[in-house]
Chain A
Amino acid sequence: MAALQQKAKEQIVEICRKYKDEPTPLMVILSEVQTEYGYIPLEVQEVISEETHIPVAEIYGVVTFYSFFSLKPKGKYVIGVCLGTACYVKGSQAIIDKFCDLLKIQPGETTEDGLFTISALRCIGACSLAPACSINGKVYPTLTVDKVQGIIDEYKKEASV
C-alpha cells in the first residue's frame, strides 16, 4: 500500500464512510471511486476492504465483473467495441482485433501515450447498426475493418490540436 498517497487514502476512506449505511455499499463506493479517479487498483481495494470488511478478493471480483470498473488508468479516448450477440454475428471480433493490431495493445489496456484504451463491451444498444463501437460516448455504426485506421487517425488529429 506504500504506493498510495496518504491524501488519496484519506479521500477513499471518506467515500467509504459516506456510504457505510447503504444496503449494498460496495457498488456505490466503487462507482464513486471509479468516477473520481478513473480506476481502482489493488491498493485502493485494500483500503476499501479495511473500511467495509469485505474481503479484497470479493471486491476484486466485482471490479473485474463489471466493465464499467477498471484496474488500470484509462486513456483519453476509450474505444468500446461491442461484442454483443448482434455485433458479434456481424464480425465485431475482427473489428476489435484490428483496433488491437493498430494500437498494439490488448483489450483492457491503454496505449503508452495515454491516448487510447480498448475495452470489449456487451450490447451497447445499437444492434440495428451492428457492428458498432463507441468512443467516449459517440457511436460508430456499421463498421468494417477498413474504417478502423481512419477512426484512430481522427482522434490522433483531435488530440494534437
Chain B
Amino acid sequence: MEKKMINIKIEGQSYQVEDGLTILEAAKRCGYNIPSLCEYNKGECSKASCRVCLVEATGARGLVASCVYPVSEGMEIKISSPKAVKARRTSVELLLSNHNMNCQQCVKNGNCELLHVANITGARENAFKGVKTETTLDILGPGIMRDTSKCILCGRCIERCKKAQGIGILGFEKRGFNTIVAPAGNRSFAQAPCLQCGQCTLVCPTGALTEVSEIPLIDKAFMEGKKVIVQTAPAVRAAIAEEFGDPIGTVGTGKMAAALRRLGFYRVYDTNFGADLTIMEEANELLHRIKNGGVLPQITSCSPGWINYLEFYYPEVIPNVSTCKSPHEMMGAVIKSYWAERNGIDPKDIFVVSVMPCTAKKTEEVRPQLSHNGLRDVDAVLTTRELARLIKRSGINWDMLPEEDFDPDLLGDYTGAAVIFGATGGVMEAALRTAYFALTSKELNPVDFLPVRGLQGVKEASVDINGIIVKVAVASGMANAKKLLDDIKAGKSEYHFIEIMCCPGGCINGGGQPYVKPVFLNKEGMDILDTYREKRASVLYKEDKGRPIRQSHNNPQIKKLYEDYFKEPLSEKSEELLHTHYKARERYPEI
C-alpha cells in the first residue's frame, strides 16, 4: 500500500515525507542528522530519556524530543535555531555532570556515542557540578562487565536482551537520581541467569557494558615464554576489517592471518579445522541416535550462550543436546594432545588463544569439564574487538598487510562446510553434507542446502537420506528458540536435528563483534542496522563456494587425524577429548 505523504519544512526547505515518522527519522531521510543519543533503531530504547535531540517544531509548545515526536502536515522544523542548539548542548552537559569521564582509560573511546554528541554539541564537561549517583562496577564476568558510572540510562540494553533473548536480565532499578540499570538486585552478571552473550554490549552507546578483556592474560603468557598458539573462528574474518574502516562485508581472512603472525603467535590456526572435527563427531552422534532410538531431536552445542540458556532455563532438554564440545574447545584439546605429541612439546608449555565473535566463549573456556589432565583446552578468549585493539596497539597498518594463509601443518586444512558455521543454519548445512554421505556413500547434491540459509529467526526443512526423512529446524536468538524448546519439553517435537545459536543471525552477529553504530557509519547507508548481518554472512558463503573441499569428511588432515589418533568418530579417545556434559544451574543463587 502507498504510504501517505505529507509536506514539512526543515530549516526553511520544503520536503515530502511519509506520515507517521518521528521528526528524527524524517529529518534523516531529508539529509539532516539531528544529534541524538539514547534513541536506537527506531525505538529500541527507553524512549526520550536523554533530551539530546531537541528541536523547534511549529505546533508544539517549546522544544520537542525529535526521536519520539511525530511529523505532521505543514510542520516547520528548526534544528539550528540558537534555542535548539543551546538546549541540546545543555542536555549533554547535564549527562556529563553525572558521568565518570575517564575517556583515556575507556575501551569505548573511539566508538563512544556520548563523546561524539559532546563533541558536536560543544558541551563542556564541568558546566554543571553536583553530586554523582552512587555507582556499581561489576567485573566478576567472566564474559561481560558493567560500569554504571558510564551509564546514561538509555535502556537500549534492556530492550535488546528482551528482544533477542526473550529474558530481560537488565532493568531500571530504584528511582529518580538513584536510578541504575542492573540485573535484579543490582547483582553481578555472574550471579544472575545472564547468558553473557554480549548482545547488550553491542547496543550500549558508552563504556557501561563491555567485554571483560583478556589481553593482559596473553601479554603474561608471552612474557613467560609460553608457546602461544592462536585460532580464529569463522565469523571473525567476516567482520574484523570493519575495525579498520573497511565497508561491512569485507573479507578479512588473509590480512588477519598476516596480522596474527606479526603479533608473534607460535602457530596461526583456523578454528575451522575444529569445526570440521565437530561435524564428524556431531553428524555421527546424530546417526547413532537415529539408528539406536536415542533421544531426539538432537540439538547442536557449539554456542555457549545457548548452553548457558539451556542450563538456566531448560535443564529438562539437556539429554537432547549433543555432547560435542564446541569447535574451538575441540581444537584446543587436539592442540594439547595430538599436536603436542607430534611436535614433542609439553602441553603445559602451550597457551591456546581463541579469537571469537563472542563474549559467552569467555564463560565457556572456564568450565571445569572443558579441561584434560588439569589443563584447560583453551587458555584465553579474545573477542574480534579485542583482537583489533591488539593489532592497533602494535602499530600494524591493516591496509598495508599482505594476504597470507593460516599455518598448514597438521591442523591447517579446512573445508567450506566449516566456514559457514559462523552464520545461522551453517552448522546444520555442514552436518547434513556429512550425514548424507555417511548414510549413502554419496555426496549431497547440490552441496548448497539453501532452505536453512537466511536470517529468519526460525527455519525448517527436511531431507530424504536413503529413505529416511530427516526433519530439521534452525533457530537463532533465544526468543526464537523458545518455541522449539517448549515443544521438546512437551514431547511434541517432530524434528530429528535442531541447530540453535544464541545470537540473532548466528556468530556473525555475536556479542564480541565490531559495533555497528550508524552514527559512525555515514557511508554505509541508512538501513545498515537491517543489512549488516546479511553482508557479513555473505563473506562466509563466498568463502565456502571458493574452497576446493566443501565437506568436513573430505578434509585430508581430518582423515589423517582419525587414522593416526582417534580411529573413528565417537571412539573412546574422542569421547575423552572431544565430548562434554551439562548440568542445571540455579538462576539467582543465594549470595
Interface residues of A (CB under 8 A from B): 1-3, 42-43, 45-46, 54-61, 64-65, 71
Q: How far is the CA of A56 from the CA of B185 in the complex (A)?
A: 10
A and B contact pairs by CB, cutoff 8 A, 19 listed: A1-B587, A2-B586, A3-B590, A42-B588, A46-B587, A46-B588, A55-B168, A55-B171, A56-B168, A56-B588, A57-B158, A57-B169, A57-B184, A58-B171, A59-B184, A60-B171, A60-B185, A64-B175, A65-B174
Give the size category of B's interface with A: 10 to 19
Chain B residues with Cβ below 8 Å from A55 are: 162, 167-169, 171
Chain B residues with Cβ below 8 Å from A56 are: 168, 171, 184, 588
Chain A residues with Cβ below 8 Å from B174 are: 64-65
Main secondary structure of the interface of A (DSSP, over half): helix
With beta carbons under 8 angstroms apart, the residue of B167, B182, B185 that contacts A42 is B185
B171 near A61 with CB under 8 A, answer yes
Q: How far is the CA of A3 from the CA of B168 in the complex (A)?
A: 23
B587 near A57 with CB under 8 A, answer no
- Closest A-B pairs by Cβ, 5 of them: A55-B168, A57-B171, A60-B184, A61-B171, A56-B184
Q: How far is the CA of A55 from the CA of B168 in the complex (A)?
A: 5
Q: How far is the CA of A71 from the CA of B167 in the complex (A)?
A: 22
Whether a CB of chain A sits under 8 angstroms from the CB of B449 is no
B182 near A57 with CB under 8 A, answer yes
Chain A residues with Cβ below 8 Å from B587 are: 1, 46
Chain A residues with Cβ below 8 Å from B586 are: 1-2
> Which residues B565-591 have CB closer than 8 A to chain A?
586-588, 590
A57 near B588 with CB under 8 A, answer no
Further pairs besides A55-B168, A57-B168, A57-B183: 12, Cβ < 8 Å: A46-B587, A56-B168, A56-B184, A57-B171, A57-B184, A58-B168, A58-B171, A59-B184, A60-B171, A60-B184, A64-B173, A64-B174
Q: Name the residue of chain A whose CB is nearest to the CB of B587.
A: A46
Whether a CB of chain A sits under 8 angstroms from the CB of B562 is no
Q: A57 and B590 in contact (CB under 8 A), knowing A42-B185, A65-B175?
A: no
Closest-CB distance, B196 to chain A (whole angstroms)? 15
Q: How far is the CA of A106 from the CA of B60 in the complex (A)?
A: 45
A45 near B175 with CB under 8 A, answer no
> Which residues B418-442 have CB closer than 8 A to chain A?
none
Q: How far is the CA of A61 from the CA of B158 in the complex (A)?
A: 12
Max chain B Cβ within 10 angstroms of own Cβ: one of A2, A3, A65: A65
B172 near A61 with CB under 8 A, answer yes
A57 near B170 with CB under 8 A, answer yes
Chain A residues with Cβ below 8 Å from B170 are: 57
Chain A residues with Cβ below 8 Å from B168 are: 54-58
Q: A42 and B175 in contact (CB under 8 A), knowing A55-B162, A55-B167, A56-B588?
A: no
Chain A residues with Cβ below 8 Å from B169 are: 55, 57
Q: Name the residue of chain B whose CB is nearest to the CB of A60.
A: B184
Q: How far is the CA of A145 from the CA of B360 in the complex (A)?
A: 54
Chain B residues with Cβ below 8 Å from A43 are: 588
Max chain B Cβ within 10 angstroms of own Cβ: one of A1, A54, A71: A1
Q: Name the residue of chain A whose CB is nearest to the CB of B182.
A: A57
User: B161-196 interface mask toward A, CB cutoff 8 Å, 1 = contact, 0 = none?
Assistant: 010000111111111000000111100000000000
Chain A residues with Cβ below 8 Å from B588 are: 1, 42-43, 46, 56
Chain A residues with Cβ below 8 Å from B172 are: 61, 65
Closest-CB distance, B169 to chain A (whole angstroms)? 6
Q: Name the residue of chain B whose CB is nearest to the CB of A54.
A: B168
